[in-house]
Amino acid sequence: MKILLTGHSGMVGQNILEHHKAQNYTFLTPKSTTLNLEHKLEVEAYIEAHKPDLVIHAAGMVGGIQANIAHPVDFLIKNLDMGKHIIMAAKKHKIKSLINLSSSCMYPRLAQNPLKESEILKGELEPTNEGYALAKIVTTRLCEYIVKESPTYNYKTVIPCNLYGRYDKFSPKHSHMIPAVIKKIHDAKTRKDKEVEIWGDGQARREFMYAEDLADFIFYTIEHLEKLPQNLNVGLGSDWTINEYYQTIADVVGYKGVFKHDLTKPVGMKQKLIDNEKLTAFGWKARTSLKEGIEKTYAYYKNAILND
Q: How far apart are CA 202 and CA 176, in angstroms?
A: 15
Q: List C-alpha distances in Å: 216 to 22, 65, 200, 281.
A: 10, 27, 34, 17
Read off φ and ψ for residue 88, nearest 5 degrees: -70, -30
Q: How far apart are CA 155 and CA 152, in angstroms?
A: 9
> Is residue 132 among the annotated active site residues?
yes
Local structure of 53: helix, strand or coil: coil
Q: List C-alpha distances in Å: 122 to 112, 119, 170, 284.
A: 11, 5, 33, 27
Catalytic residue among 107, 132, 153, 298: 132
- E-strand stretches of the chain: 2-6, 26-28, 54-57, 97-101, 154-160, 162-164, 195-199, 205-206, 208-210, 231-234, 240-241, 258-262, 271-272
| DSSP alpha helix (H) spans, 40-173 | 40-50, 65-70, 72-92, 130-149
Using CB atoms within 10 Å of the CB of residue 5, give its burial: 0 to 12 exposed, 13 to 18 middle, 19+ buried.
buried
Beta strands across the sheet bearing 240-241: 240-241, 205-206, 271-272
Beta strands across the sheet bearing 154-160: 26-28, 2-6, 54-57, 97-101, 154-160, 231-234
Catalytic residues: 132
